Amino acid sequence: MRFSTFIYTLKQGFVNIFRNKWYSLASIATISACLFMFGIFYSFVANFQYIVKEAQNGVAVTIFFDEGISEERIAEIGSLIEARSEVDHIHFVSADEAWDSFKEEYLGEYADGFTENPLADSSNYEIYLNDVSMQSSLVGYLETLDGIRTINKSEITANTLAGINRLVGYVAIGIIIILLCVSIFLIGNTVTIGISVRKEEINIMKYIGATDFFVRFPFVIEGMLIGAMGSLVPLGIVYLVYNNVIGFVLNKFTVLSSILKFMSVGEIFRTLVPVSICIGVGIGFIGSFTTVRKHIRV
């Protein structure tokens, strides 16, 4: 395709938008509304999963060793565990550290009566996972290792967090599919109207030898431009809404700031901006391309 042809088809795409400005505005507004809901929903889901991830970081599998186990074997077990794909990191707690923590939390000044460490055999590894849904796989492996006396795990917590993540994922996919279908339908209608208005012009172009690409491409450009414009408007609105809502929640309910950690607007928009633009342009392309193939017999 020559550059002059590309410029012409691009120009015709803009012309088509203004020629059917009310239908174009309706499509842009609908895409903006859909992507606004997508942005709000994404912000909610991303923060929810972020909070769940923070909760997962506090869930650990703890293993205690057999009495009389050597330090070399403890180090070897640690190396084997760290090599597992399920493991994010491990933390070794010596018997002295365990006793110091126990004294500080439960005994206070009464701990002075103990001359020896009653937790002499309580050294352990705290194992933190990449994903709590992998806990059962890791525990199964740990049960095969020699030198481990006890494995403490939180099965209910792990299953609950994993179930919440799956549920949120399924709901997100369902809502996104609905929004995409609505947007594609509306862009298709807008392009169909443009084709109807230019039906006679298209026939003349075909009679004088215009190629299929030359006839179809302006309508595809029109759909992509509508999708792009429809994706930019909601991004600005979501930015303002997200900043104000998070600021209001943290200022109004200060106790939440120590319990819940929200993602910054930069972290949200690092993903949301390219995804929204790609979705907008993508549904514009799909909606216009399929409509053009259906209604223009060239």
Q: 67-81 pLDDT, tens per residue?
A: 878 888 888 888 998
Q: Where are the domains of the chain?
A: 3-55+166-295, 60-153
Q: How far is CA 46 from CA 72, 221, 223, in A?
A: 43, 32, 29
Question: Class assignment of domain 60-153?
Answer: alpha beta
127 vs 61: CA distance, rounded Å: 5
- Cβ–Cβ < 8 Å for 228, 288: no
| Other residues' Cβ atoms within 10 Å of the Cβ of residue 199 | 11
Confidence at residue 6, expressed as pLDDT on a 0 to 100 scale: 67
**pLDDT less than 50: residues of the chain:** none
Confidence at residue 111, expressed as pLDDT on a 0 to 100 scale: 54
Picking from 270, 120, 154, 290, the residue whose alpha carbon sits closest to that of residue 219 is 290
Q: Which two tokens stand for residue 259?
A: 């319990």
Confidence at residue 159, expressed as pLDDT on a 0 to 100 scale: 67
- Cβ–Cβ < 8 Å for 230, 27: yes
- Please calculate the CA angle 125-131-134 and round it to the nearest 5 degrees: 75
Confidence at residue 248, expressed as pLDDT on a 0 to 100 scale: 77
Q: Which two tokens stand for residue 53?
A: 């991830």
Helix or strand run (H / E) with residue 211 = none
Confidence at residue 183, expressed as pLDDT on a 0 to 100 scale: 67
